[in-house]
Amino acid sequence: MTENKVEVSDDGGQLRLVMADGESLRFHAFWLRDNALEEDTRSLANGQRLITMADIPNDTKILHAEVTEDANLVIEFTPENKRAMYPLPWLKAHAYDRPAKMEEGWLSQNLILWNSSLGNQVPVVDFETACKDESGLHGWLRSIRSHGFAKMTGCPLESGALIKVAELFGYVRETNYGKWFEVRSEVNPSNLAFTSLGLQAHTDNPYRDPVPTMQILYCLENTADGGESKVVDGFAAAKRLQMENPESFSYLKNYNMSFEYNGDKGQILKTRKPMIEISAEGELTGIRFNNRAAAPISQVPFEKMSGFYEAYRHLDAIIDDPTMHVTFKLNAGECFIVDNTRVLHSRTAFSGEGKRWLQGCYPDKDALLAKLDYLDRVEAG
């Protein structure tokens, strides 16, 4: 079997690790010193870094490096005269000497894009199972990460019980709508979500910064005709736009949209953010789309406004395309959760006969992902 090998550059500024499996990875001396795992650099209790940049000499070099028989890389740094040890699997897991990611707009490999062909294969778990069986909860959270939404059935028929669903993985963000809010027909509503009209698919509250990252919509009564719930994969819509017209995709990531909501006394909520959000690494990370919250766009230059509107109209048409829609009736005692940074939601029109009573709340996605990462790690042993 080939051995793990290490070669240090002549100036000691970097090294090359050639693994037994043939993989070759370079690391900089400064990076290695910064990421030393010993307790003088990182807390052994919680992994937090205990030094600042200024504590690492600017002329840090590798004086000596070797790979031990038990697969650790051991380094002596100068001028600190510091010794550090790194397990090879740790180095592989944190390596950065790899080909650049794919084209702009790439997606995390945890995600699964979907459209109407998902049909009735909506990810679902029963409330009791999620409460009592950790693997049941784990599977549900995993499908929320992959699909950006999931249903739950068998939920308690009591007002406010949606908070129990959020507490399965995290916490609810309180807003001017309260810890949770009612979604039902009202006379003289200040917000169109409370009427019986059909709604265009949207992400909630794009006029906030940060936006609510998850939403639970929880059904306590639904005897009205229509009023079905509809979801659209915003990432699938953005990727389709990118494929059909890359220039339009660029417009919507490069220029901000304006969003505003003045429906509540004493508050003016407004933001300027792009409809398609790309991270500094080129990853597609967010969608904001809400025709009702759209405000006059004055930040797009005159010469670019026609192109911007063309792009906006194109994305709008993709979102309205039934081949992108997954529709389901939410019955009393059922709820669904959406990743509000990715999946758009709406409902079809419903008649005034019968009742439709939902409650909604905004849990935070970071807590959901934190719980999921923990369960993944437990499962992996």
Q: Is 364 in the site for Fe ion (CB under 5 A)?
A: no
Q: What string marks each residue from 175 to 204 as x (binds Fe ion by CB under 5 A) or -?
A: -----------------------------x
SS (H, E, C) 25-69: EEEEHHHHHHCCCCCCCECCCCCCECCCHHHCCCCCEEEEEEECC
Exposure letters 14-43 (e unless 16+ CB within 10 A, then b)? bbebbbeeeeebebbbbebbebbeeeebbe
Q: What string marks each residue from 201 to 240 as x (binds Fe ion by CB under 5 A) or -?
A: ---x------------------------------------
Cis peptide before 99 (omega within 30 of 0): no
User: How far apart are CB 166 and Fe ion at their closest, in Å?
Assistant: 16
Cα 26 from Cα 6, distance rounded (Å):
10
Q: Which is nearer to Fe ion, 254 or 327 (CB)?
A: 327
User: How far apart are CB 204 and Fe ion at their closest, in Å?
Assistant: 4
User: How far apart are CB 147 and Fe ion at their closest, in Å?
Assistant: 18
Q: What string marks each residue from 284 to 323 as x (binds Fe ion by CB under 5 A) or -?
A: ----------------------------------------
Question: Which residue's Cβ has the minimum distance to Fe ion?
Answer: 204
Q: Which is nearer to Fe ion, 204 or 233 (CB)?
A: 204
C-alpha pair distances (Å), 106 with each of 22, 217, 257, 366 = 27, 29, 22, 21
C-alpha pair distances (Å), 17 with each of 7, 22, 29, 61, 333 = 7, 10, 13, 16, 56
User: How far apart are CB 231 and Fe ion at their closest, in Å?
Assistant: 11
Q: Which is nearer to Fe ion, 82 or 345 (CB)?
A: 345
Q: Which is nearer to Fe ion, 192 or 317 (CB)?
A: 192
Give the interface with Fe ion as residue ranges (CB under 5 A).
204
